[in-house]
Amino acid sequence: MLISKNLAPIAVFICLFSGSFSSLALEISDLALEGEIKYLKVRPDPGAYSYESRVKITPQSLETGSVEIATCHYQLDPIAKVVIVFNPERIQAIAIQSLDKMTSAVVKDNEVVLTDVERGASICIGLKSRALDQLGDGRFKLNAGPLMRRYFDGYLPMAAKLRVDWPANMLILEKTSPAEKDGIDVVKGNDGVQLNMIFAGKMTAQIFLKKTD
């Protein structure tokens, strides 16, 4: 059994790969060790595991901190059991939206338990979470992660897409952490921001926003 623990407001997912990484045409340099993170300009194993999250911020979210989140895990690696754990102090609702190539996905309190996950499986989960932190002076912070794809005592490459939407001109992006660089692409507009990330390691992303005057 593999348990993924979450202290951040959105989601944590640890995926254990049970095959040989040589079959994916990966090099040792493509993997990250414990405590290390590598940002990759080009993914060395296209078509392998990826994560997507879409967060909806409403005017009410700025008062309550509650947002709606849709998360999807694609091209999962095979494993007998995975427990996805959400922060019990923040999560307000969890619902399975779709699943494929696994025996079951069951919501238990603040967890989603996956069993008999096949290679290439997918699952999408809908959430409501108090994920938006007020920083004062009309500023807010949204956290995502940690996200990772485990391989024994290291990490395999993965792709993650984090999209945040809000009504046009309600918020502006102040900064993201990590900032834009090779492996981190930041696309911003007056109604949202999207981070496209390719990395190996344990990733936690933060999005800092400010309410418009």
CATH of the domain at 44: 2.60.40
Q: Which of 14-23, 51-60, 88-97, 181-190 has the weakest average pLDDT?
A: 14-23
Alpha carbons 153 and 201: distance in angstroms, whole number: 11
Q: What is the pLDDT of residues 130-170, one digit of tens each?
A: 999 999 999 999 988 788 888 777 888 999 999 999 999 99
Q: Mean per-residue pLDDT for 25-51?
A: 85
Q: Is the pLDDT of residue 17 over 80?
A: no
Q: Is the pLDDT of residue 129 over 90?
A: yes
Report the percentage of the chain scoring pLDDT > 70.
88
Q: Is the pLDDT of residue 212 over 70?
A: yes
Question: How many CB atoms neighbour CB 125 within 10 A?
Answer: 23
**What are the CB-based long-range contacts (under 8 Å, 24+) for 100-107?**
101/76, 102/76
Tokens 């940690």, residue? 146
Tokens 């993170």, residue? 37
Mean pLDDT for the chain?
A: 87
| Domain count for the chain | 1
Q: Mean per-residue pLDDT for 70-79?
A: 92
Q: Mean per-residue pLDDT for 112-135?
A: 95
Q: Is the pLDDT of residue 53 over 80?
A: yes
Give the pLDDT score at 24: 54
Question: Which amino acid is residue 158, in one-letter code?
Answer: M
Query: Domain residues for 163?
Result: 2-211
Nearest of 130, 90, 84 to residue 108 by alpha carbon: 84
The dihedral region occupied by 62, where left means phi > 0, alpha psi between -120 and 50, and beta the remainder, is alpha
Alpha carbons 62 and 51: distance in angstroms, whole number: 26
